[in-house]
Amino acid sequence: MINSFKSLKQHHWAEVWSVWAASLLTALMGVVNILSAVTPALTERFRLLNDFLPLIVRRSGRLSAALAGFALLLLAGKLKQRKRIAWILTVIVLIISAISHIIKGLDYEEAILAISLAVWLLTMYPHFHAHSDPPSVKQGLKIVFLALLFTLTYGVAGFYLLDRHFSVNFGFWQAIQQTIIMFAEFYDPGLQPVTGFGRYFADSIYVVGASTMGYALLMLVRPVFIDHPVDETMRERARQIVESYGKTPLARYTLFDDKLYFFSTQGTVIAYVVKGRIALALGDPIGPPADCLNAIGEFDRYCKINDWQPAFYQTLPDNLKLFQSVGYNTLGIGQEAIVSLSKFTLEGKAGKALRTPINRLTRVGYHAEMHDPPLDDDLMNQLKLISDEWLTTMKNTEKRFSLGWFDEDYIRQSLVMTITGTDGNHIAFSNIFPEYQKKEVTIDLMRKQQYAEPGTMEYMFVSLFQWAKDHGYETFNLGLSALAGVGTRPQDPIVEKAIFYVYEHLNQFYNFKGLHSFKTKFQPTWESRYLIYPGPTSLPSIITALIKADSGDDFFRKIIISKNKK
């Protein structure tokens, strides 16, 4: 198996370097085109061309070479993303480029380079398998057609009605011919405006042509966007796999309706969301352990076909070597707090931080109560009021992706513990759910009223521990403590040390240390969790995708609005 890992990894990097080389050479060819277009032709070749090609054709070739150069520079980046449509367009542009070099100055050296690169790209056809978004491709083609139709109508009407602004009197067919030449070549030395308005009108055709064609090109190479919901058959299939193989708190969250599903050929499911070009999977693949490597490889290929970059958030240490064997990088992102219910105690030094608030609240009449699903309407209304007040107090919105949120159907079917105050009203609540494969229970939402007594949440956690222990559970999962324990060792990578700096010095933006200290009171065991990602250059996009998945796509807009209000 180790040899197969090495062989797979070597093949992967050989393919990566080939694609990168093709992208780099395409960009260099673009630079060559631009430089060649602004460089005078050699004298002897210029004389030969004079005998065969008119001036207007030679100038057209020079402009075509320059435009092809800019197009190659734009397409080079898309080749690196393995876009099939970019590969097709690049081969076409290289052929046009070669013809342009011959026409403009018998520059056969540049023409040979362009043709050679086109031939090499043709041999690399299998490497360029990333699809573009089908609706975007259709929209791009539609834009090209509409742009041509609009420009024809606009140009023909203008040249026919405004011919007094030019040195040529345009008839109807001459106006059509003139518009097509300007739209296709962005240049016509024979056109001579005689007024300022004539020059403005001619330039406006260039602007319309360049902007619409550029926008159409971007639409043609967009990554695939998922705009259809998961059907019930897929969701039921995912549920059966998760219930059979899920072994972390994240398994329950993979069944929420914000997730898409990828199924391997051998029965593994990967739950993910797509944000931009990032396919962000939640946790490790869920399925038969022997299928994990295969599922990772199949998902990786599926993402490449759709022009996505895959990433896995909050993975266990168990599969790190599998991810690394196929070229992924790993990054520590925090530690999960797991309480052993048999070892947890309020006695002695370990329980000192909890005894005082719990004893005080018990004396004044606080008590906890566990509610089995389904919850009645009266209780649901009370929980909704507490939740809304908590969100308002925290100046926050519902989190998603790796957490649950106050969805009525979800909460109604959950185990919910409430804390009742001295006036007999509920002042705090939390919902929990058991894991599928272990005797472990996990907490999800934790919410309280603004003026609840200090120590209310500690009181609720201790009550939850006692309930879980009484019902035969062995551990209680308190969830991820983000950034905790990351980058603290000398051998840790530079990225993790940078995260440690954030943890130490930017605590005012998010109370990382406060949350970690709160969980530490309950004497947990800490287990590391990881982010799996393709490479360092993908990290900014992955972080942005994670923020969008967690807080919604309008997160950055909310931040701007919040700052403006201040």
pLDDT at 44 over 60: yes
Distance CA 566, CA 553 (A): 22
pLDDT at 151 over 90: no
Q: Residues of the chain with pLDDT > 90: what percent?
A: 36
Q: 525: pLDDT confidence band, cut at 50, 70 and 90?
A: very high
Q: Is the pTM of this model over 0.85?
A: no
Please name the fold of domain 134-220: Helix Hairpins (1.10.287)
- CA angle in degrees (0–180, nearest 5) for 387-511-361: 55
Distance CA 372, CA 417 (A): 9
Q: In degrees to the nearest 10, what's the CA dihedral of 258, 263, 268, 272?
A: -30
What contacts 345, CB < 8 A, 6 or more positions away?
A: 351, 523
Q: 99: pLDDT confidence band, cut at 50, 70 and 90?
A: confident
pLDDT at 124 over 80: yes
Q: What is the DSSP string of 499-514?
A: HHHHHHH-TTTS-HHH
Domains 134-220 and 336-534 share a fold: no
Query: DSSP label at 289?
Result: G
Output 196 or 358, whichever has higher pLDDT: 358
Instruction: Tell me the average pLDDT across 237-260.
Output: 92
CATH 3.40.630 for domain 228-327+537-566: yes
Q: 280: pLDDT confidence band, cut at 50, 70 and 90?
A: very high
- For the domain spanning 336-534, the CATH number is 3.40.630.30
SS3 333: strand
Beta-strand pair 278-282/309-315: parallel
Q: 532: pLDDT confidence band, cut at 50, 70 and 90?
A: very high
Name the residue ranges covered by the structural domains of the chain. 2-127, 134-220, 228-327+537-566, 336-534
| Preceding peptide of 374 cis, ω within 30° | yes
Structure tokens at 109: 């050296």
pLDDT at 267 over 50: yes
pLDDT at 10 over 60: no
Q: 424: pLDDT confidence band, cut at 50, 70 and 90?
A: confident
